[in-house]
Amino acid sequence: MMASLASPSRAPPRGGDDGDASVVSCASIEIDDVVVREKVLEQIKNDHYHPSTFAPVHRNDSNEYSGMTMSKQQTLLWGSEPIGRARQCSVNSNNSTPTDMSPNNDTVGESSPRVTRVAADATPTSSKLGTFKGVFLPCLQNILGVILFLRLPWITSQAGVIQASGIVLLCATSTFVTALSLSALATNGQVQAGGPYYVVSRNLGHEVGGAIGVIFYLGTTIAASMYILGAIEALQTGFELKDSMGMGGGQTVILSLLLCFTLASIVAVGVKYVNMSAQTFLAIVLISIACLIFGCFLAAVGVFEGDLPHYNITTINETDGSEIWEMQSSVKGFDNVASNWTYDSSIGLTPNFLWCIGLFYPSVTGIMAGSNRSGVLMDAKKSIPTGTLSAIIVTTIIYLTVLWLYGCTLSDRTLKENKLVVTLAAWPHKVVVNLGIIMSCVGAGLQSLTGAPRLLSAIALDGTMPILAPFAASGASEPTKAVWLTWFIASLPCLAGNLDAITPIITMFFLLMYATVNLSCFLMTVLRAPGWRPTWKYFSWATALFGFLLCLTLMLLIDFKMALVSFVFALLLQFYIKKQQVTKDWGDSIAGIRFQVARDQLIALTDRSTFYHPKNWRPQLLVLCTLDENGNPLRPELLTLAAMLKKGRGLLMTMGLVKGDVRYEFTQSEIFTEVMRMHMKENGLEGFPRVLLYKENLAEAVAAALQATGCGALRPNSVIMGWPSWASDTYTEEQAATYINLVKSIVGCEKAVIILKNGAKLLSYMSTRALLTNTIDVWWIVHDGGLLLLLPHLLRLHKAWKGCRLRIFSVINEYTEQNESIEEFRSRIMMFLDEVRISAEVIPINLTSDELSGVTERMQDLSGNDMTGTIPLSKIYHGILQNRRGADITQQVETSKAGSPMKGLRGFEQGCPIVMSEQGTPSEQEMRPVKELDLEGAVLPQSESEGFDFMCGVARAFNVDMKKHSSQARLIVTNFPLMMNTVSPKHVVDFIELLTRDLGPTLLVRGSGKEVVTTFG
């Protein structure tokens, strides 16, 4: 009966008048593990709302088509809503996450595989921003900053205008190509909270994205420290307040900490005050830049010198050698064309080209400001690329203008000794630029302290890093905890008291972020996924790859040690996130890479015939499990056995067998699949579970599944299943026929069969193995391609079987007795095992010995004839257990060579290989009558009852011998008999029961006929 092979059948929900036939209720499913149940139901819930899920088919109560509208008919016939009336659901192409537009969907799930966020376009159209105010001005404000005012003239004096121009252009190039990649990513879907973190995590996966997101957060936070230190430096230098408190360098630290706390308090009170002041700060910055440029231009033409210093210089009179004192102006044309690297006591070193790149690079960051505001833009796909690239071009022009104007106007000494020289040349007064610098630094610091906490909150909301969970702020609430954490972290670099000491750190973090943005664009472009449809077209895989390599190269060249520290830190963060075992269905490109590589390798593997060579053979296991009503395997020992064979490094698939109707119970089968996945994980198995729903004929269902399971070379070649528990009790012919037909179906698909009998004892033996002999006993009756030898060898590689000895009980036939002694036979088997590199103890078993004479007499009594001289017992058992090729233990697939230890045995006298086709297909062979088997003229009983008595006698004889030698073995491995159509399935079941009666855990193995061991290296 089917009930013994699968879980109890479940009646499908009734359709028609009583309800919707396509809807399956999951409420009645009882799963033992509450965690599993909640996880599975959440997965089903998410799948139900995913855009890729078809809408259910609805029928009216009358079940009639007449009077139905076109939309109802379309819903009935195709199972979906008409175009234009489908359930509203917008899909973000970056992460494939549905955004339900329903009014109640306003939360962000922390543990759901698919994170649902507030729709980014929920802002009223009237309040949305255009390109200029929404992207250009924010990027301009974030790019222009303290480095322009305090360090660019100094860099020009050290590197010269030519090399300094190279520094600016090199840094701007990296941001420009990054902006191209960012524009492509941003126009492939809305960029939500988190900005660049959101882009990277949805394209490179939550592990890489989370690590880079934390690094970007730290970079933004430390950038706030840089702006604060810049503001204090401008305040002390511009208004001559340095050491006014008599504290030396401690004054800078105290003022920096006070300013940092003040700015953090403003942000904590409300971000609206920061947004209101942003445009005011930007206006002051632009006015300051105009003043310093105009003042320097007036100084160059000799109209205005402001507060530029004059220097007393001494020259020697060539006539009399006397000293001449002269007053030299700071205005000196083209004094900084060439580089003049000079030691600087404030930084304690002599700078070089690469060091100056690290110092200047933070001044070109800030290109992400526009993409962070995609939700409030009227046309994000147009505004983000245009505004970001325009801001980069404008700021680059400003940098080059200031660089060339100051470098070609003022003297080298003036630029080196006065890091705040822009205020000295400012028009109309230096106070204007001093205030502009301070306002610029304060405004940029506020922006950093505002953006960093929200970035941290976005990372925490995604749930990939549980340690950040307290800093998550959902909905419209302010991330207050994240603000104060950001303040604490930003306060630490302020203790350095010098912005030159922290700019290299900021550079490394931002370069790493930009590198991953370019990498995301490169991978998406190369993979060409159907979901990659950016509206921005001015990019290519070459620009993205160039940007990625350029950013990495700059990191390594600027500071090799700091770059390595950044890489290691990112890897540690990624390892931490991976250890959390959080799954996110964001459609990242890493999954696309895995798919592409797997696809290419699978095609290549299929085309290479060497994969099927015995040297490359490995067990590709398919475990057949019957499930209970909760989806739990009834025979968990099968999974345990599969786990012990995983050293074979093969593919593993599990198939749960459930009687049901796929039309109504598919959702239930998906739940059971997840339950099986949990059981596999508990057993340390990595593989692919699946539940098979079948209606009536289990054998046909399994045969169809075996033919369709797998892909290319990754198809199961061996099937593990359990021996039915009802076989040891009273059972019906129908039960036996169902099971044997199932085995025949597997054999017909040319798969090896591994049947575990008494598997429950195997689990108990694992805990009490000290009471047993540590042996695995193989009763080698016929040669099956070597699987009978390979399986115990693989088991011994597992730690649970590490100390077990392998014993092979080799059955001697009549040819061996006539030609050689038992010791010679043992020696040749040992040499054969040595050639195939399997260590074992060989024990010959003589089936024609006197100890089995009782069986022979029983045969004579049953037939009425003296058959002992014509039917040796070994030949009878060889006929029963003969595999599809009819080969015995002395046969193997390879050609016999001179000197081979197997030469001279049956099948090797001709020195030629054994060909599979000589014996026909498995199905053809097993359909032959008994008298047609290769028993070399032996006369067998022709009636079924008489033949069955022969089989019983042989089984009892073997059972006696097996109990004598292997009663204490931890595992017994032997051949599964040939299933001839002339023998009823019930007799086959009885034969195996008699053969293995009162034995411990037993593996019945039927090889596929293909060699799995070889003597060749």
Task: Find all residues with CB under 8 Å of 344, minimum gap 6, and list them.
Answer: 350, 351, 416
914 secondary structure, DSSP code: P
Count other C-beta atoms under 10 Å from residue 190's C-beta: 22
> Residue 489 has what pLDDT?
95
Are 523 and 203 within 8 A, CB to CB? yes
- Within 710-777, residue ranges assigned H as helices are 733-748, 759-767
1009 phi/psi in degrees, rounded to 5: 95, -5
Task: Decide if pLDDT at 182 tops 50.
Answer: yes
Q: What local confidence, expressed as pLDDT, does residue 853 receive?
A: 43
- Higher pLDDT among residues 863 and 824, named by residue: 824
On the question of pLDDT at 457 being above 80, the answer is: yes
Can you tell me whether residue 368 is helix, strand or coil? Answer: coil
**What are the distances in angstroms from CA 617 to CA 485, 649, 726, 786, 1017?**
57, 10, 35, 11, 13
Q: What is the pLDDT of residues 656-674, one digit of tens each?
A: 888 888 888 888 888 898 9
Residue with more model confidence, 944 or 461: 461
Least confident of 305-319, 568-582, 955-969: 305-319
How far apart (Å, rounded) are the C-alpha atoms in residues 219 and 221? 5
**In whole angstroms, what is the distance from residue 947 CA to residue 950 CA?**
5
The candidate with the shortest Cα–Cα distance to 899, out of 820, 832, 822, is 832
Reduced to 3 states (helix: H, G, I; strand: E, B; else coil), residue 803 is: coil
- Between CA 89 and CA 262 the distance in angstroms is 43
Token pair, residue 852, equals 């089995």
Give the pLDDT confidence score for residue 322 in this predicted structure: 64
pLDDT of residue 946: 57
Say if CB 107 and CB 460 are below 8 A apart.
no
Q: How far apart are CA 109 and CA 46, in angstroms?
A: 11
* Rounded Cα distance, 575 and 429, in Å: 55
CA distance 363 to 399: 10
pLDDT number for residue 128: 75
* Chain center to CA of 146: 42
Cβ distance 880 to 954 under 8 Å?
yes
Q: pTM value?
A: 0.66
| Highest mean pLDDT out of 372-381, 602-611, 615-624 | 615-624
d(CA 20, CA 804): 58
Task: Point out which residues pair with 1006 in neighbouring strands.
Answer: 753
Tell how far CA 886 is from the center of its chain: 47
Lowest mean pLDDT among 83-97, 396-410, 943-957: 83-97
Band of residue 612 on the pLDDT scale cut at 50, 70, 90? low
Mapped onto helix, strand or coil, the DSSP state of residue 355 is helix
Which pLDDT belongs to residue 256?
93
Q: How far apart are CA 730 and CA 87, in angstroms?
A: 57
In 283-408, the DSSP E strands lie at: 310-316, 323-329
The pLDDT score that the predictor gives to residue 609 is 57
The token pair at 97 is 């996450």
| Number of neighbouring beta carbons within 10 Å of residue 528 | 10
Of the listed ranges 34-48, 49-63, 628-642, the least confidently predicted one is 49-63
Residue 508, pLDDT > 80, answer yes
* pLDDT one-digit tens code per residue, 193-205: 777 788 788 878 8
Q: Which residue has the higher pLDDT, 177 or 3?
A: 177
Name the phi and psi angles at 872, rounded to 5.
Answer: -60, 145
Burial of 706 by CB count in 10 Å (0-12 exposed, 13-18 middle, 19+ buried)?
buried
Distance CA 464, CA 112 (A): 11
Encoding tokens for residue 834? 């040595």
pLDDT one-digit tens code per residue, 220-247: 899 999 999 999 988 888 887 776 666 6
Structure tokens, 123: 């802002």
pLDDT above 70 (res 12) = no
> Whole-angstrom Cα distance, residue 142 to residue 538?
24
Q: Rg of the chain's alpha carbons, rounded to an integer?
A: 40
The tens digit of pLDDT for each residue in 414-444 reads 999 888 889 888 888 888 899 889 988 888 8
pLDDT value at 917 more than 50: no
**For residue 172, what are its two tokens?**
């701007």
Q: Yes or no: say if 453 and 193 are a contact pair by the CB < 8 Å rule.
A: no
pLDDT of 914 strictly over 50: no
pLDDT mean over 541-547: 95
With 0-12 CB in 10 A as exposed, 13-18 as middle and 19+ as buried, what is 304? middle
Q: Taking Cα atoms as reference points, which of 266, 292, 274, 267 lies closest to residue 138?
A: 274
Average pLDDT of 113-127?
A: 45
Q: Using a pLDDT cut of 90, give the percent of the chain over it.
A: 19
Average pLDDT estimate for 173-184: 93
Amino acid 30: pLDDT: 43
Instruction: Check the CA dihedral 172-174-177-179 and report its sign.
Output: negative
Mean pLDDT for the stretch of residues 580-587: 76
More confident residue, 461 or 936: 461
pLDDT of residue 728: 81
pLDDT at 723: 92
SS3 content of the chain, % helix, strand, coil (to 5): 55, 10, 35
What is the pLDDT of the chain when averaged over all its residues? 75
**What integer is the mean pLDDT of 99-126?**
39
Helix 480-494 and helix 430-461, axial crossing angle in degrees, nearest 10:
130
Each residue's pLDDT tens digit, 969-1008: 889 999 888 777 777 888 889 889 988 898 889 999 988 7
* Residue-level pLDDT at 486: 94
Q: Which residue has the higher pLDDT, 935 or 434?
A: 434
- What does the DSSP assignment read for 435-502? HHHHHHHHHHHHHHHHHHHHHHHHHHHTTS-GGGGGG---TT---HHHHHHHHHHHHHHHTT--GGGT
Distance (Å, whole) CA 1013 – CA 360: 65
Measured CA to CA in angstroms, residue 484 lies from 100, 170, 232, 260 at distances of: 33, 36, 21, 11
Q: How confident is the model at residue 356 (pLDDT cuts 50, 70, 90)?
A: very high
pLDDT at 389 over 90: yes
Q: Which of 982, 946, 952, 939 is nearest to 863 (CA)?
A: 946
Instruction: Check: CB of residue 199 under 8 Å from CB of residue 371.
Output: yes
Q: Is residue 115 pLDDT above 50, yes or no?
A: no
Which residue is associated with the tokens 């494939």? 96
pLDDT exceeds 80 at position 934 = no
CA end-to-end span of the chain, whole Å? 48
| 632 has a pLDDT exceeding 60 | yes
Six-digit token string for 647: 């050293």
What residues have CB less than 8 Å from 647, skipping those under 6 apart? 794, 797, 798
**659, amino acid identity:** K
Q: Which of 389, 14, 366, 49 is CA-nearest to residue 196? A: 366
Cα separations in angstroms, 875 against 662, 781, 933: 48, 11, 11
